[in-house]
Amino acid sequence: MTSKLPNPHYLPEISIKTTIINFTVTPSGLEDQLLVEVVRYERIELEEQRDQLIVQISEDNRELISLEDRILKKLAEIAGAILSDEEIINILDASKIKSESIN
């Protein structure tokens, strides 16, 4: 079965019984894949460092989203003036420090 659609959607019954292969390869995508393989072969420690950085970036992004959610929740709960709520000011200060350390 073939399709000219860039991202085809099939029924679950078809997806279970088949393997979908995307043969669309761009030169830059192929270059990235080959570079990863060369680095993995020649500089193992560099590839391990790259993997650690990817994990760290992912954790930092999750933490930033968590901070944003916490701030929005507190702002929604505030009744009255924002500047008079000491807890929200402390949360904003802590978020700013954490955000600056991540970025």
- What residue type is assigned to position 51 of the chain? D
Regarding pTM above 0.85, the answer is no
Token pair recorded at residue 42: 């020649």
- Which phi and psi angles does 81 have, rounded to 5°? -75, 135
Q: What is the mean pLDDT of the chain?
A: 84
pLDDT digits (tens, 9 = 90+) for 69-92: 988 998 888 877 877 888 888 888
Task: Find the largest Cα–Cα distance for the chain.
Answer: 65
Q: From start to end of 1-98, where are the E strands?
A: none
Is the pLDDT assigned to residue 8 strictly greater than 80?
A: no
Query: How far is residue 34's CA from residue 52's CA, in Å, rounded to a whole number?
Result: 20
Residue with tokens 């970025």: 103
Instruction: Give per-residue burial for 33-48: e unless 16+ CB within 10 Å, then b.
Output: eeeeeeeeeeeeeebe
- What residue type is assigned to position 30 of the chain? L
